[in-house]
Amino acid sequence: MIVMKFGGTSVANFEAITRTIFIIGGRLDQKPIVVVSALSKVTDLLYRISDAAASKDLPQTKELLSQLRQRHVDLTSELLSQSVQKDEAIERVNELCDSLEGIAMAVCSLGELSDRNKAVIISTGEYLSSTIISYAMNAKGIRTKWVDARTMMITSESYLKGEPDMNAIAAKVPGVVAEAYEGMDAIITQGFVGVTSEGRPTVLGRGGSDYSASLIGMAVDAERIEIWTDVDGVRTADPRYVPNTKSLEQISFEEAAEMAHFGAKVLHPLTIEPAVKKNIPIYVLNSMNPSGKGTAILRNELIEDGVKSVSFKENIRVINIFSTKMINTSGFLRRVFEIFSESKVSVDLISTSEANISVTVDSSQNIDPVVAELSEFADVIVDDDKSQVSVIGKNIVKLNGMLKKTFTPLKKCNVYMISQGASFVNISFVVDREELNEVVCDLHHHLFEQPEELETF
Ligand code: ASP
Ligand code: MG
């Protein structure tokens, strides 16, 4: 069995879906479980519908709902133009849109949007796409069973960012899949979508379809997990910012997890974990170029040492905490990090010295409560408009000359904080946001375009 996940751009329109179905058709002997995202930009549209409804903007809510319905109905008639099931498929799409409209109208008249209703609204995109693609696959002669992810993807009660219950998922999925597969060539289900153990709808958080795919892969012990997207696999840096990036044929689970966590936009950061549990390879592939090699994400032992990527987070803050109470005392760090944890602020890099702790956090997080509490016993200085750059690769920290190679191109700029992970995969540092572009391009050039052997100690 394999899992094939198709992101929004791989199911954006008639051409993309036709290509995607062709790709699936070539893998039927491997028993694919197809996991789909919403059509591209649809989840954003659903967020806008939620906002419009919550602010009681009836004309705007109606306008956006009608855009959503139109796009899906048009696509269905295009894909099923030759099929006897065309009317049935359109009816199904209309039912999904009706039920969305029902909720949106109720929200609009109350002006109140609970997380629970929001989860239902924003997961409609995946229900629509999976329904349409399921009909289109059947119309192409692939006997396909549509499966509701809410029969198996059990999460916590956090409606908008449900944490998967791995044990419950591992217990449920194989049975649901086996039953659905009877007499079928393929099954299709929704990414992103979850459900509490009590049956209340949740979602896994933005970009969560990759995570769904790897959870399902883990549960059925899949041979491989394929993440189909619109780029040729994972690259040495984000090609939108950096010239001459190269695609990577193979990287390790650990490298991929660090890249995703430290800014590379290829995979949802939590995708790796379930795959690692069962040692299932993940392939990142391009649905616009299906014969391309893509990137294989494999177990650590199979991967060579060396630098693989320059990743970055553009907009971060450094929180500097100074206190003489820290000197020669125990429990200070615990107190500090309890405050972060209670406010659910997640920390990326940490560095400490005798009387100072510096941490980086993503700028999208609200740190006001943290700063207020820390200020009760320490001096706190927050540096805004910083960026974090990470050089990632297996054992790079052990490679002779690597630190020199990393920091040589930075001669001209201020470096605020340096952190070198204990796992030897990551050297990260903080620079001014305005310098980011130049730093990343120089560094990439230096590391990838000037071949010079690095030796292990
Ligand atoms: N459709 C959801 C989103 O856009 C999930 C996903 O595509 O992975 O966030
Ligand atoms: Mg995605």
pLDDT tens profile 157-174: 999 999 999 999 999 999
Q: Side-chain half-sphere of 320: how many Cα atoms within 13 Å? A: 13
Distance between alpha carbon 249 and the CA centroid of its chain, in Å?
Answer: 20
pLDDT surpasses 80 at 3: yes
Q: Which of 70-74, 327-331, 430-434, 443-447 has the lowest mean pLDDT?
A: 327-331
Instruction: Summarize the confidence of residues 133-161 as an average pLDDT.
Output: 98
- What angle separates helix 42-54 from helix 58-79, to the nearest 10 degrees? 150
330 CB burial (10 A radius; 0-12, 13-18, 19+): exposed
CA distance 321 to 194: 39
- pLDDT value of position 454: 53
Q: In Å, how far are 70, 130, 213, 226 from 39, measured between CA atoms?
A: 13, 9, 17, 18
Residue 88: both structure tokens together: 């049935």
pLDDT greater at residue 33 or residue 262: 33
**pLDDT class of 77 with cuts at 50, 70, 90:** very high
- Residue located nearest, by CA, to atom 8 of ligand 1: 207
CA distance 279 to 45: 36
CA distance 407 to 425: 16
Provide the total of helices (H) and of strands (E) in the chain, helices listed first. 14, 19
- Residue located nearest, by CA, to atom 6 of ligand 1: 207
Mutate to test the pocket of ligand 1, among 43, 129, 216 (most ligand atoms within 8 A of CB): 43
pLDDT surpasses 90 at 243: yes
| Of 128, 97, 120, the residue nearest 50 (C-alpha) | 120
Instruction: Summarize the confidence of residues 256-260 as an average pLDDT.
Output: 92
Instruction: Summarize the confidence of residues 246-273 as an average pLDDT.
Output: 90
- Residue located nearest, by CA, to atom 2 of ligand 1: 207
Residue 233: both structure tokens together: 């696999």
Residues at Cβ < 5 Å from ligand 2 ion: 7, 207
Handedness of CA 35, 41, 44, 49 (dihedral sign): negative
Handedness of CA 107, 112, 116, 120 (dihedral sign): positive
227 CB burial (10 A radius; 0-12, 13-18, 19+): buried
User: Which SS3 state, helix, strand or coil, does residue 61 take?
Assistant: helix
CA distance 308 to 279: 21
Please report where in the chains the tokens 């702790």 appear, as a residue. Answer: 357
- pLDDT value of position 288: 95
Q: Per-residue pLDDT tens for 5-51?
A: 999 999 999 999 999 999 999 999 999 999 999 999 999 999 999 99
**pLDDT class of 281 with cuts at 50, 70, 90:** very high
pLDDT greater at residue 352 or residue 52: 52
CA distance 33 to 192: 15
| Of 29, 6, 20, 124, the residue nearest 71 (C-alpha) | 124
Instruction: Summarize the confidence of residues 172-199 as an average pLDDT.
Output: 98
Residue 218: both structure tokens together: 């883990």
pLDDT surpasses 50 at 225: yes
**pLDDT class of 399 with cuts at 50, 70, 90:** confident
Distance between alpha carbon 250 and the CA centroid of its chain, in Å?
Answer: 19
**pLDDT class of 451 with cuts at 50, 70, 90:** low
Indicate if ligand 1 lies below 6 Å from the C-beta of 214. Answer: no
Residue 125: both structure tokens together: 């995109």
Tally of CB atoms within 10 A around 53: 29
What's the Rg (C-alpha) of the chain?
Answer: 24
Indicate if ligand 1 lies below 6 Å from the C-beta of 43. Answer: yes
User: Which ligand lies nearest the alpha carbon of 128?
Assistant: 1
Indicate if ligand 1 lies below 6 Å from the C-beta of 192. Answer: yes
User: Which SS3 state, helix, strand or coil, does residue 155 take?
Assistant: strand
Q: What is the DSSP letter of 164?
A: B
- pLDDT value of position 457: 47
Handedness of CA 361, 364, 368, 370 (dihedral sign): negative
Q: Record the pTM.
A: 0.91
Q: How far is the CA of 383 from the centre of ligand 1 (A)?
A: 32
pLDDT surpasses 90 at 192: yes
Instruction: Summarize the confidence of residues 276-294 as an average pLDDT.
Output: 95
Strands 193-196 and 224-229: unpaired
**pLDDT class of 453 with cuts at 50, 70, 90:** low
Q: How far is the CA of 156 from the centre of ligand 1 (A)?
A: 19
Q: What percent of the chain has pLDDT over 90?
A: 84
pLDDT surpasses 60 at 214: yes
Q: Which atom of ligand 1 is nearest to the CA of 268?
A: 8
In this structure, the dihedral spanned by the alpha carbons of residues 176, 177, 181 and 186, taken in order and rounded to 10 degrees, is 140
State the chain's mean pLDDT as an integer: 94
- pLDDT value of position 309: 95
